[in-house]
Amino acid sequence: MKYATQRVALPFFALALALFALQVTFGILAATVYVLPEFLVDYVPFHIMRMSHTNLLIVWLLIGFMGCTYYLLPEEAESEIHSPMIAYVQLAIFAVAGAGALVSYQFGIHEGREFLEQPLWSKILITVSFLMFLYNSSRTLLVGRKTAINSVLMLGLWLAAIFWLFAFYNPGNLGLDKLYWWWIVHIWVEGVWELIMASLLAYLLIKLTGVDREIIEKWLYVIIGLALFSGLLGTGHHYYWIGAPAYWQPIGSIFSTLEVAPFFAMVMFAFYMFWKGRRNHPNKSAMLWTLGSAAVAFFGAGVWGFMHTLSFVNYYTHGTQVTAAHGHLAFYGAYVMMVLAVITYAMPQLRGRQPYNQILNMWSFWVMTSAMCFMTFTLTFAGVVQTHLQRVMGINYMEVQQQLELFYYMRLGAGVFVAIAAVMFLVAIFGPAREELPEGMALTAR
């Protein structure tokens, strides 16, 4: 660790991972209700579990992004963080907003739009905290060196904050509500968050492979160009059936198909740099998460996204388990794995030692990734059967669901393995550090 203030990242990572563990727990509870409908009905109904699950996901990813930013910014900008104090205060505010919302959900206090259930006071605190974060990090960038990596990262974060403001606009006309709701939800994950993902990927590749900055940064601009050129109009794939004009069917189909391109470019980029790289970095597990993230994002977002994005396919699959399958693998590959990659890379420096517990960390990678893939496959099968029975044959929803029980059992099983892998990850990161290096790497590490 070259800069003392990079330490600021540590509590962000710790809190993010704790909330990740909670997110997975709520996921398992919700998946249990799918197979045992009476489970906890009188205590925590399904809708509360579900909003806890999805909100925890968003909150921990945002905290993770902030931690990643505080970690890489001093190195990239060659300057200490403007104010560590602001960082800690801002984290505390965010934690209160997130935890407060989570607790209030358990008492039935929430708003009512998907993913935006936070009560108004929580939304305001989130905004305040995020603005403090942006102030702090932008001040750091302004006095320091401006690289493509830190500029693109900051651009992504600022844009995420700007589009978040639509969360405060809830028109009474349901069509308008949906029109602008997607300005947050879609523009985040298929637009500005991709800027964040791509810059984190570029940062890790420079560090881990030692490839020239000039080459990496050029790729970075190409990738984010592909992301926004396709992703903005690609929002049209959510405007097919909500009361918007019919022209979104061709526009949304074409541009959202092009959204596969940035994810394809990222996976090509990652593997190309990996082969080209001269540096044999000892942190093999960070390299594994980095490559894994690019690859799984390509499958989850690119392949699974394309599968149901053409309007004439989406007409049948819209709002079925196919959507749930895609949502899981895309979020996991693009954002969960990328944050875990940065954490895996940064923790040895933050704890002041050589890469440690790598074998356990890699086990966690393989178990978690396989389990998330399995969950995606089983939900995809459920979704295809559901689409056929309900959308093609016209059989009633509840009857169709009874046919899908086996898939829901398998999803629950996969979830248990995700939880086991998450515990392995936590132990590998925060547990006692043993310098176990992969076979044959021991020499290059020193």
Partner 1 sequence: MIEGLSRSAARNIFFGGSAFFFLVFAGLTAHSHYYIVNVSTNQEGLTPSVIAGKHVWEKHSCINCHSLHGEGAYFAPEIGNVWTRYGGEENPDGARASLKGWIRAQPLGVPGRRQMPYFDLSEEELDNLIDFFRWADAMDTQGWPPNKAG
* Contacts to ligand HEM from residues 257-276, by CB under 6 A: 259-260
Under DSSP, is residue 231 helix (H, G, I), strand (E, B) or coil?
Answer: helix
From the list Fe ion, ligand HEM, partner 1, none, partner contacted by residue 336 (C-beta under 5 to 8 A by kind): ligand HEM
Q: Does 222 participate in binding partner 1 (rule CB under 8 A)?
A: yes
- CB-side exposure of 101: number of CA atoms within 13 Å? 30
* Pattern 63-102, partner 1, x by CB under 8 A: ----------------------------------------
Q: Does 221 participate in binding partner 1 (rule CB under 8 A)?
A: yes
How would you write 290-332 as a 3-class SS string? HHHHHHHHHHHHHHHHHHCCCHHHHHHHCCCHHHHHHHHHHHH
Distance CA 255, CA 309 (A): 10
Q: Does 323 participate in binding ligand HEM (rule CB under 6 A)?
A: yes
Only one residue has tokens 């919302």, namely 101
Q: Does 235 participate in binding partner 1 (rule CB under 8 A)?
A: yes
For residue 171, give the amino acid letter: P
Binding-site member from 93, 157, 244, 343 for partner 1 (CB under 8 A): 244
b (16+ CB within 10 A) / e for 420-445: bbbebbbebbeeebeeebeeebeeeb
* Pattern 170-209, Fe ion, x by CB under 5 A: ----------------x---x-------------------
Give how many residues touch ligand HEM by CB under 6 A: 40
- What DSSP character marks residue 133? H
Q: Does 302 participate in binding ligand HEM (rule CB under 6 A)?
A: yes
CB of 238: closest distance to ligand HEM in angstroms? 6
Q: Which stretch binds partner 1 (CB under 8 A): 69-77, 237-245, 347-355, 417-425?
A: 237-245
Tally of helices (H runs) and strands (E runs) in the chain: 19, 0
* Contacts to partner 1 from residues 134-173, by CB under 8 A: 148, 170, 172-173
CA dist list (Å): 386 to 238, 330, 366, 407, 420: 20, 21, 30, 11, 30
Q: Does 330 participate in binding ligand HEM (rule CB under 6 A)?
A: yes
Q: Does 191 participate in binding ligand HEM (rule CB under 6 A)?
A: no
Q: Does 398 participate in binding partner 1 (rule CB under 8 A)?
A: yes
Distance CA 195, CA 160 (A): 10
* Contacts to ligand HEM from residues 387-426, by CB under 6 A: 415, 418-419
Q: Which residue is nearest to Fe ion (CB)?
A: 186
From the list partner 1, ligand HEM, Fe ion, none, partner contacted by residue 222 (C-beta under 5 to 8 A by kind): partner 1
Q: In terms of Cα–Cα distance, which of 222, 421, 201, 186 is closest to 326?
A: 186
Give the alpha-carbon dihedral of 24, 29, 32, 38, to 10 degrees: -170
* Contacts to ligand HEM from residues 97-116, by CB under 6 A: 114
Residue 389 Ramachandran class (φ > 0 left, ψ -120 to 50 alpha, else beta): alpha
Structure tokens at 116: 């935006």
Binding-site member from 1, 28, 176, 441 for partner 1 (CB under 8 A): 176
CB of 165: closest distance to Fe ion in angstroms? 19
Q: Does 289 participate in binding ligand HEM (rule CB under 6 A)?
A: no
CB of 325: closest distance to ligand HEM in angstroms? 9
Q: Which stretch binds partner 1 (CB under 8 A): 108-116, 285-293, 357-365, 421-429?
A: 108-116
- CB-side exposure of 288: number of CA atoms within 13 Å? 17
Q: Does 327 participate in binding ligand HEM (rule CB under 6 A)?
A: yes
Using alpha carbons only, what angle is made at residue 413 by residues 409 and 414, rounded to the nearest 5 degrees? 120
Phi (first) and psi of residue 146, to 5 degrees: -100, 110
From the list Fe ion, partner 1, ligand HEM, none, partner contacted by residue 250 (C-beta under 5 to 8 A by kind): none
Q: Binding residues for ligand HEM, per CB under 6 A?
A: 24, 27-28, 30-31, 34, 50, 53-54, 57, 114, 189-190, 237, 256, 259-260, 297, 301-302, 305-306, 308-309, 314, 318-319, 323-324, 326-328, 330-332, 334, 336, 415, 418-419
Q: Binding residues for Fe ion, per CB under 5 A?
A: 186, 190
